[in-house]
């Protein structure tokens, strides 16, 4: 088990609106089939604020950033 932060996607809720990709394309990518891909499930500390912003801005609340102890 790791203490690294982890990005989790609820695939049933995600509509691939690409809001997350607009905020942080280094981590989130929506392909031509409207499928969301997480390019780095364990983002580095310097990106955590922007990852949290993407999570908070998801219109379907399909993203979660799990941190140590969660």
Rounded to 5 degrees, φ, ψ at 31 are -90, 180
* Segments forming the whole domain that contains residue 18: 6-66
CATH code for the domain of 44 = 3.30.70.20
pTM: 0.91
From residue 58, give the alpha-carbon distance in Å to each of 2, 4, 20, 31, 65. Answer: 25, 22, 7, 17, 12
Q: Do 28 and 9 form a contact (C-beta atoms < 8 A)?
A: no
Per-residue model confidence (pLDDT) at position 68 = 77
For residue 1, is it within any domain? no
Q: What is the pLDDT along the chain (70 residues), one digit of tens a residue?
A: 568 999 999 999 999 999 999 999 999 999 999 999 999 999 999 999 999 999 999 999 999 999 877 7
Per-residue model confidence (pLDDT) at position 20 = 98
């Amino acid at each position: 088990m790791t203490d690294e932060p982890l990005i989790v996607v609820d695939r049933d809720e995600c509509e691939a609106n690409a809001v997350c990709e607009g905020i942080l394309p280094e981590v989130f990518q929506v392909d031509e089939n409207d499928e969301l891909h997480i390019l780095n499930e364990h983002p580095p500390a310097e990106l955590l604020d922007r990852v949290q912003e993407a999570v908070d801005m998801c219109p379907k609340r399909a993203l979660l950033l799990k941190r140590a102890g969660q």
